[in-house]
A and B are shown apart, each in its own frame.
Chain A
């Protein structure tokens, strides 16, 4: 049974191939097109997953889409008509895009893949998220919480899932309708703070760490809690239906002050560089971020509590774009009535292609419920041999002419050397030595990760105690604002030393989805990878899930005393995570990275 799951049309287009109930390959389209959050038809992702399964479209038994285009069109039409007569632009542009393309997404799938229409299926958007969260969890039964910006008609939804006679049964409990959306509220605040909505919500979350939630009461008024555990958004503060007017209204500005110009620098830093002068405005922005973050956490916890009342279980599956908020996720993990919380590796729209493919496969009886969980390492892999041979023909002087802006010369040196290791242990040791010496190392291994987190296959690594090095990494490699903290990876053996969570909860931290507090005794050793509030996103690395990366952490641990490295995604600001070795080399060439590991080859500057 070969099932292709597909998501596209809004953001994070992706494809996934499930063969006989197993995820063979899955990837976001952005990894092939170098356009972050690429929403276009996932031509290259589909090509990749079919190649990985050695299949052609003719071999597919089913193709499943991640939303109901008809319901979504009804919502869009309603949305653009409601503000009549001030929404002509929204009406015209939405209808052009819908009548010209989006309404025919299913037919497009059929024609572009040359697959008969009766093989094309679809699920509603939030149901796609629900099965995405449940199918890979390994739970036999679970409550399911979906919190998103908007999909079809819903913005949040509660479900209950269980396996019955070898098939998944996922029942809807309640769906909160657009425009009452926590995701959209958070995005509107993100726009107010001068960041890019639908992309830089993580900046809002990070900025919140420097503020106090002094505006929380105001935000609570706007996102009012209801007695049934749900919420209602006061629409007079937002333009969710009249979007060309901007995300927020004049009333919003009266409540929170003038919005931030995106060029205005924020004087906050995670690297202990000492406080620069913090203007009243900058502090206001941090306080607003802290306030919306606080209220988001409260509303998610209330939803989870309500869900538990309606579907008592010790298990919770959580997905939707808002489940990328790792600060809120930690609250769920530690304060909700659920003992176990599962968040899939790509809980946003990109992961829905996995959910729909697994679900269709399971309905056809092709799945073993106990063999459903999948790893994030299902993306494309490339051999580096051709790229390594190319290195000897590169002119270092030419490369130096095209360094990234603001970088005069690479710290490591102008010429490049390389060595290919036959022995993995030697490679790990060599890289561990470099990390100990304060090098910035690109670590490119095997199959790419599914989802936005780099989990040791497309990562940039440094030692986790060197805050000056982290500042250099932000400035000269990542182009990352200094108020955004880094995360770290740690071996499962050492994790209990620094993170005070149970063994089961630690296992839930293997994909960097929770901002957890670090034991103060170990804070100095992890200072470069922590936020100012003493928390960090942690990846607890298990040998069975990623042996090569685990070996590196262990080798570094032998030298450092703790098997932990600062781990950030292998991409420059505004670009997706690198896919091919040539893309990795390109970033290595233009930035201040000192060394790069391409599978078994170490490249370094000298």
Chain B
């Protein structure tokens, strides 16, 4: 049921949403950002791991993700209307320094699994084209990553039971964040509606003054001093 819903969602995105102007390019920009974010998390992990063998595995993994980010950036070139500007996400570590590093891999592992599943569905739904080509290359790597991250989890000393528990926790956390995102989208739509109404209510009274203000050639007031928030 969940898979069917997921398939339907992907089909809707590919067949309806992405046919609208700029939407496909925007989606590819999002994929690029996700891959770049993955590279960043792997490099953050590298700063905490000392074992040279583990570092080498992680580093090689980051090269792959970087190649994927580049692949998507290249695909964007094909579909975008302007040169790509990276998505301005606020980066944040998945876990604090006090948590064992393997937990990060549990997160990455779940992320890789979901991404592989999603990319596969998109690849299979898409007509021939530049993005489909890119996804063909990327999906086979991502499948390898799912195994690799699991292997890393085991190598870093996490027990099977701990891994299962953490993966479950990650899944719940991702679901929760998905729910929050959905809630945020609803609030966003409401805010759009409210602010649109505000615009048409206050706009007619203020736009003349605003235009007059923008005609000023110089800034009249002197704001050259150190001010305090508590003032």
Contact = CB atoms under 8 A, between A and B. Distances in A.
Contacts of A391: 56
Nearest to A122: B227
A120 B88 CA distance: 26
Nearest to B63: A402
Interface size class of A (residues with CB under 8 A): 35 or more
Interface stretch (A324-332, A419-427, A493-501, A582-590): A582-590
A605 B135 CA distance: 31
A345 B195 CA distance: 42
A33 to B, nearest CB: 4
A164 interface: no
A96 B196 CA distance: 11
A35 B85 CA distance: 10
B141 to A, nearest CB: 9
Contact of B226 (A44, A64, A106, A590): A64
Given A81-B207, A82-B211, A590-B66, A387 B219 contact: no
B226 A393 contact: no
A117 B195 contact: no
B19 interface: no
Nearest to A382: B47
B159 interface: no
B7 interface: no
A55 interface: no
Interface stretch (A170-178, A460-468, A559-567): A170-178
Contacts of B214: 78-79, 82, 177-179, 241
B210 A81 contact: yes
Interface string B170-193: 000000000000000000100110
Q: Among the interface residues B67, B77, B91, B214, which one has the most CB atoms of the partner chain A within 10 A? A: B214
- The secondary-structure label for the interface of chain B is helix
Given A36-B86, A40-B91, A121 B226 contact: yes
Nearest to A63: B229
Given A200-B83, A590-B63, A154 B219 contact: yes
A574 B73 contact: yes
Nearest to A78: B210
Contact of A40 (B56, B80, B88, B217): B88
Contact of B43 (A179, A196, A580): A580
A159 B59 CA distance: 50
B66 A96 contact: no
A544 interface: no
Interface stretch (B103-111, B120-128, B150-158, B197-205): B197-205
B130 to A, nearest CB: 12
Interface string A343-360: 000000000000000011
Given A91-B199, A106-B229, A395-B60, A152 B223 contact: yes
B83 A195 contact: yes
A582 B40 contact: no
B147 to A, nearest CB: 15
Contacts of B224: 123-124, 127, 130, 159, 170-172
B219 A35 contact: no
B50 to A, nearest CB: 6
A586 B59 contact: yes
A586 B63 contact: yes
B85 to A, nearest CB: 6
B226 A360 contact: yes
A43 interface: yes
Contacts of A123: 224-227
A120 B228 contact: yes
B226 A386 contact: no
B195 A359 contact: no
B222 interface: yes
Contacts of A79: 210, 214
Nearest to B204: A84
Interface string B24-63: 0000000000001001100100110010110110011011
B52 A402 contact: no
Interface in A355-404: 359-360, 363, 386-387, 389-395, 398-399, 401-402, 404
Contacts of A33: 40, 91
A389 B227 CA distance: 51
B126 to A, nearest CB: 21
A84 B207 contact: yes
Contact of A34 (B43, B46, B229): B43
Nearest to A579: B43
Interface in B204-221: 204, 206-207, 210-211, 213-214, 216-219
B143 interface: no
A283 B198 CA distance: 47
Contacts of B36: 34-35
A124 B226 CA distance: 8
Given A92-B192, A177-B217, A574 B84 contact: yes
B3 interface: no
Interface in A19-62: 32-36, 38-41, 43-44
Nearest to B80: A262
Contacts of B200: 85, 88
B204 to A, nearest CB: 7
A91 B66 contact: no
Given A153-B219, A176-B217, A386-B52, A574 B66 contact: no
A405 B70 contact: yes
B191 to A, nearest CB: 6
11 contacts: A78-B213, A81-B210, A124-B223, A153-B219, A180-B217, A263-B77, A386-B52, A398-B63, A580-B43, A582-B46, A590-B66
4 closest A-B pairs by beta carbon, nearest first, are: A393-B56, A84-B207, A175-B219, A124-B223
Interface of B: 36, 39-40, 43, 46-47, 50, 52-53, 55-56, 59-60, 62-64, 66-67, 70-71, 73-74, 77, 80, 82-86, 88-92, 188, 191-192, 195-196, 198-200, 202-204, 206-207, 210-211, 213-214, 216-219, 222-230
Given A82-B213, A121-B229, 14 more contacts: A35-B89, A68-B227, A91-B203, A96-B192, A175-B218, A176-B219, A386-B50, A389-B52, A391-B56, A393-B53, A398-B63, A399-B63, A585-B59, A589-B63
